[in-house]
Structure 1
Amino acid sequence: MVKINLLPHREEKRKQRKAAFYRLLAIAGVVGLGMVIGVAGMYAAQIATQDQRNNFLKAENGKLDAQIKEIGNLRQEIEALKARQQAVEDLQSDRNQPVYLMDELVRQVPEGIYLRSLKQENQRVVISGYAQSNERVSELLRNVGNNSAWLERPDLIEIRSTTLGQGRDSKRVFDFTVNVGIKRSREKDAAAKPSGQSAASAAKKL
């Protein structure tokens, strides 16, 4: 017996295929939306983690900046204390400078020179006097510049010919003014160290 399907089967199959396509499309949309939400959540979690790290680094940097500022303040206080300590030491050492000055002048002033006045301003001393000749003044400058442990950097300010006395007792001399520096104890010790070290190294070589 032959069966004949009189229903519009082609139209029915077309509707079934269209319904299946829509179902697949809906499933794909749901899956895609889920993937997008998952990826977005993963990125959001990574961004939140990175924000936490950034906030932690900012907080630590703030602490370091505060510590650096504190260290800078401590350094300034230390430098100020060192400066005060050095000033006190300089004041104590400067009390003996007149003694060192007079002792050095006795050692370094050659014969034929008469000192008339001394005036000290800080670490410079103005020396005025009379000399028998220009050579005597030059010798004084050489002695102070090369042979003195306490005096340094001599500078001839003025020298002029003048006459002392009257009549037969008058003498032609040279009136001079010299400016010299006087060292502090620490400067003298610092200048003496290199020579002492070189002598010690030379002795080791021998």
Structure 2
Amino acid sequence: MILINLLPHREERRRQRKRNFFVGLGLAAVAGAVGAGVWMVALQQLTQQQEARNDFLRVEIRKLEAQIKDIATLKNDIEGLKARQAAVEDLQLNRNVPVHLLDELVKQTPEGVYLTAVRQTDSVVQVSGVAQTNERVSEFLRNTQNNSQWLSRVELVEIKAVTLPPAAGARDPRRLFEFSMRMTVKLPGAPAAGASAPSGAASARAA
């Protein structure tokens, strides 16, 4: 009977398997490291590309902000020019208003009513005068309220009786009625900001 010792052969196979295991483990580690390196390089490139895009966007945003500021300034300039143009147009429209106002007051003032003062502030006109009777004041009030194309919102502010010395050649004192009225003049255009129509005093009597 022949006996064969297999122990050395088995030991050699175990050593071979162990070598193969470590070799495979090393290859896997190398492959993992290479993959990780490739991923890091790709990630770095992507990050650089994104940073480049971000820088480009920041530059464009700054340009747009500058353009927006320029547009806002231009809009303010345009609004200022429009306001000045409107003011000039209003002045041109309203420069003849005092003339029309006085002419209208002359037309609407009845006989027996004497105007002593006319003062205009923007579109509000304050009229003071004296009348022979209360009825004359009422007539003047109705005329300016109903018959005038230039006057509206007529209000009687005050009326009071006064006694004046006798006129030349008369013996009895005169009894008159002082009154003040407020009314609104119809302006062709809106009054310019900070500007008011000229004020003045005039006396008128309807013939």
What TM-score results when the alignment is normalised by the length of structure 1?
A: 0.71
Q: 1:158 to 1:42 in 2, by over 3 A?
A: farther
Identity of aligned residues (%): 47
Q: Which residue of 2 aligns with 1:170?
A: 174
- The 5 Å alignment of 1:3-82 reads 4-5=4-5, 8-82=8-82
Q: Which residue of 1 aligns with 2:95?
A: 95
Distance 1:142 1:46 in 2: 88
Q: 1:32 to 1:76 in 2, by over 3 A?
A: same
1:20-49 deviation per Cα after TM superposition (whole angstroms, max 9, x unaligned): 111111111122222222233333333323
Q: Which residue of 1 aligns with 2:116?
A: 116
Distance 2:72 2:7 in 1: 97
Structure 1 residue 84: Cα displacement: 1.9
Distance 2:138 2:64 in 1: 62
Q: 1:78 to 1:55 in 2, by over 3 A?
A: same
Q: 1:53 to 1:119 in 2, by over 3 A?
A: same
Q: Which residue of 1 aligns with 2:85?
A: 85
Amino acid in structure 1 at the alignment position of 2:119: K
1:169-193 deviation per Cα after TM superposition (whole angstroms, max 9, x unaligned): 52242x22223333432249xxxxx
Q: 1:122 to 1:7 in 2, by over 3 A?
A: same
Amino acid in structure 1 at the alignment position of 2:93: S
The worse-fitting range, judged by mean Cα deviation, of 113-122 and 77-86 is 113-122
Distance 1:129 1:39 in 2: 100
Distance 1:85 1:157 in 2: 37
Q: 1:170 to 1:97 in 2, by over 3 A?
A: same
Q: 1:45 to 1:145 in 2, by over 3 A?
A: farther
Distance 1:180 1:99 in 2: 16
Q: 1:39 to 1:153 in 2, by over 3 A?
A: farther
Count of aligned pairs between the two proteins: 186
1:149-205 deviation per Cα after TM superposition (whole angstroms, max 9, x unaligned): 4334445443333234545352242x22223333432249xxxxxxxxxxxxxxxxx
Distance 1:14 1:178 in 2: 127
Structure 1 residue 101: Cα displacement: 0.6
SS at structure 2 position matched to 1:179 = strand
Q: What is the RMSD computed on CA atoms of the aligned residues?
A: 3.1
Structure 1 residue 75: Cα displacement: 1.2
Amino acid in structure 1 at the alignment position of 2:117: S
What TM-score results when the alignment is normalised by the length of structure 2?
A: 0.71
Structure 1 residue 128: Cα displacement: 0.5
Q: Which has the higher helix share?
A: 1
Structure 1 residue 139: Cα displacement: 5.8
Q: 1:152 to 1:68 in 2, by over 3 A?
A: farther
SS at structure 1 position matched to 2:172 = helix
SS at structure 2 position matched to 1:168 = coil
The worse-fitting range, judged by mean Cα deviation, of 61-70 and 120-129 is 120-129
